[in-house]
Amino acid sequence: MRARISLRWTPRVRAALLIFAVLPSLWFGYQWRLRSGMDELESSAGQRLALLSASLDAELQRYESLPVVLAQHPGLRELLAHADDPRRVDLANRLLGKVNERTGAAVLYLIAPSGRTLAASNWQQPESFVGENYAFRPYFQDALRGNSGAFFAVGATTRIPGFFIAHPVLDGGKVVGVLAVKVELKLLERTWAESGESIMVVDRHGVVALSSHNEWKFSTLAPLSAESRKALADTRQYFTGRLAPLPLVWRDTNRLSLDGKTYVVRQQDLGWVDWRMMVMLDAAPAAEAARVEILAAALALSVLGVAGMYWAQRARRIRERLAAQAALERTVAERTADLAASNAQLLREVGERTAAEKKLRGAQRALIDANRLAALGQMAAGVAHELNQPLAAMRAFAGNGLTFLERGRYEPLGENLRQMIGLVERMARLTAQLKVFASRQQSVRGSAPAAQTVRTVLGWLTHRIHAAGVDLKTYAEDIALPLQPQALEQVLLNLIGNALDALDGRAGAEIEIWVGRRGGALVLEVADNGPGIDPALREKITQPFFSTKPLGQGLGLGLAIVSDLVVAAGGQIVFDQRLAGGAVVRASWPEMGNVDGDTGGQEESHE
């Protein structure tokens, strides 16, 4: 006879099988959550890398054109032709000092073809560059060959690291000298350090040139080759640095270990002297979050397992007792079990809906954060583009103005100054728009006299209105609108400015401004006879950074600011088409007693 083997499913056997089934799931869950956290860190590091590299480019581009423009100055060419003339040396020193003071660079200096410095902006300081020979520097050698030179190194005179930009001084197509500017990036590094992030800028030899951690500077990512050490020694680029390798171990292409920490790394090549920027985020929080979640899941599973075993044992005992009971008692027990199952199902549904609501709120918060990062990226790119062009033009006008001043040519000097004033006003309007847009969540409710504010704003725009030949008609009742005076000025300034832009170059241009009561509401209207507003764009024109103007004529914040100010004060804004052609923008607020009285209106006509 065959022996029959009986396997009893005791609670201990069930528990052991459950553990062996759950452990692999927990392990794979931990690995998945850790990978997800690392991916999130990589995405965040990529976004930070884009912003930081843009800020570094903007800092260096501020000074890129300075030696190019200043090299055209005739006084510098005269000094290069008469290097031993004390009077010309003094004039050049004072010129470089004045320009350096206005631009905020570290040092401006003029170098003869021999490599000797003839004049410098720091000529009165103990660490003056005057008399020093920089023929060994690559930026000087590149400029002497007729090219622009750029080089990062520790200063041979000041022992302070800096970025050097050089340009040849030409006389009749021949290189007669080199004009260089030194830019110190200490403030930028300090800003990185205060942000708490780990950032490195590495050169082509693998030497850390800039870093948010001072102890990492002038270290290397790997031991230097003999060729690299010779190149660095010849140029004396880091002669004060130790150039020792960092205790760095790469885990994979995007992870490394340094100083006992594991970092997620994103890196990007920069366009400045073969630099590469690295942004490193600590991976410990992601690993800790994965461990906490898996431990929480394991605890929950353990509680559920114990509860399941308890309920299984209890059910077995109940079944044993119910087997001896009458049929009626079994029926009651079954109905009770059905009711308990329905209650449990209801509780599970409530829990699922609560969890779904929490996930929805988390997704909404994540979407808000993503929108804020996108707005920052758009703003950084727009501001950099809008400000770099006027700044470059102002540098050129300033250099030419100095030349005209020295030659006594005051008429072109005045024209240069007027051009610079226009550029400053353009940047002021841009920064004013950005300031209002940045503070658009603040309260703007108040009370502003409509007629007086209209006159004030029109006084600001008188020159533009007369220059454009616009027929301006205004009607403003003596009422108060529910806005702060500054907010109402900003609304009028943007609406009238947009109307003037729409009428640019148009014959028979007209603008009508109307403020008064209509249908139980306080109404402000600005209308023009321009091309009007495309109905397909009316839903988009109040979005930040949306603009139909050509590139370089605004960031698209004007109507976004107007809409925010009006809505924040309890009103609404409507964009419509005039029957006679053109556009009309109408802002209205419910009239709730916030008026100063109705004493008639004031109508004016400007030609």
Task: Dump pLDDT digits (tens) for 391-436.
Answer: 877 888 788 888 888 888 888 888 888 888 877 876 776 666 555 5
Residue 222: count of CB within 10 angstroms of its CB: 11
Residue 116 has what DSSP assignment? Answer: B
Q: Give the pLDDT score at 236.
A: 85
Give CATH superfamily name and number for 196-284.
Answer: PAS domain (3.30.450.20)
Residue indicated by tokens 């609406």 = 495
pLDDT at 165 exceeding the cut of 80: yes
Pick from 544, 539, 531: which is nearest to 501 by CA? 531
Give dist(CA 71, CA 395) in Å, integer: 12
Residue 403: count of CB within 10 angstroms of its CB: 16
List strand residue ranges (DSSP E) for 206-252, in order. 208-211, 248-252
**CA dist 68 → 92, 405, 580 (Å):** 16, 19, 53
Higher-confidence residue: 116 or 282?
Answer: 116
* Centroid of chain to Cα 34: 29
Task: Dump pLDDT digits (tens) for 7-56.
Answer: 455 666 666 666 766 778 777 777 787 788 778 888 888 898 888 888 88
**CA dist 393 → 73, 245, 423, 553, 570 (Å):** 16, 44, 8, 15, 43
pLDDT at 208 exceeding the cut of 80: yes
pLDDT at 378 exceeding the cut of 60: no
Token code pair at residue 353: 């809906």
Q: Could you tell me whether strands 471-477 and 510-518 are parallel, antiparallel, or unpaired per DSSP bridges?
A: parallel
Higher-confidence residue: 283 or 105?
Answer: 105
Domain pair 196-284 / 441-606, same fold: no
pLDDT confidence band for 548 (50 / 70 / 90): low
Contact 524, 485 (CB under 8 A): no
pLDDT confidence band for 260 (50 / 70 / 90): confident
pLDDT at 308 exceeding the cut of 90: no
Percent of the chain with pLDDT over 90: 17
Task: Dump pLDDT digits (tens) for 119-136.
Answer: 999 999 988 999 999 999
The pLDDT of 61-83, averaged and rounded, is: 89
Q: Provide the residue ranges of all domains of the chain, joining segments of one domain with +.
A: 66-183, 196-284, 325-438, 441-606
Pick the CATH number of 441-606 from 3.30.565.10, 3.40.50.12240, 3.40.1390.10, 3.40.50.300: 3.30.565.10
Q: Give the pLDDT score at 352.
A: 86
Q: Whole-prediction pTM value?
A: 0.47
Q: Give the pLDDT score at 380.
A: 56
- What mean pLDDT, rounded, does the chain reach? 81
Q: Give the pLDDT score at 167.
A: 94
Residue 153: count of CB within 10 angstroms of its CB: 22
Pick from 528, 535, 540, 543: which is nearest to 585 by CA? 528
Give dist(CA 110, CA 94) in Å, integer: 12
The pairs formed by 270-275 with CB atoms below 8 angstroms and a separation of 24 or more are 270/53, 270/56, 270/57, 270/201, 271/57, 272/56, 272/57, 272/60, 272/150, 272/152, 272/163, 273/150, 273/151, 273/152, 273/203, 273/204, 274/203, 274/204, 275/152, 275/201, 275/202, 275/203, 275/209
pLDDT at 468 exceeding the cut of 70: yes
Q: Which of 56-65, 70-79, 543-552 has the highest mean pLDDT?
A: 70-79
The pLDDT of 502-509, averaged and rounded, is: 81
Residue 239: exposure state from Cβ atoms within 10 A (0-12, 13-18, ≥19): middle
Reduced to 3 states, what is the DSSP secondary structure of residue 589?
strand
Give dist(CA 198, CA 282) in Å, integer: 8
pLDDT at 594 exceeding the cut of 60: no
Q: Angle at Cα 602 formed by Cα 601 and Cα 606, nearest 5°?
A: 150
Pick the CATH number of 66-183 from 3.90.550.10, 3.30.450.20, 3.60.21.10, 1.20.1740.10: 3.30.450.20
The pLDDT of 207-231, averaged and rounded, is: 89
Q: Angle at Cα 368 formed by Cα 366 and Cα 374, nearest 5°?
A: 105
Q: Give the pLDDT score at 383.
A: 60
Task: Dump pLDDT digits (tens) for 339-365.
Answer: 888 888 888 889 888 888 788 666 645
| Lowest-confidence region among 30-44, 472-486, 571-585 | 30-44
Give dist(CA 398, CA 418) in Å, integer: 11
The pLDDT of 270-294, averaged and rounded, is: 82
pLDDT confidence band for 599 (50 / 70 / 90): very low
pLDDT confidence band for 372 (50 / 70 / 90): very low
Q: Give the pLDDT score at 434.
A: 56
Residue 561 has what DSSP assignment? Answer: H
Give dist(CA 165, CA 495) in Å, integer: 44
Instruction: Give the CA radius of gyration of the chain.
Output: 36
| Lowest-confidence region among 85-99, 110-124, 468-482, 531-545 | 531-545
pLDDT confidence band for 547 (50 / 70 / 90): low
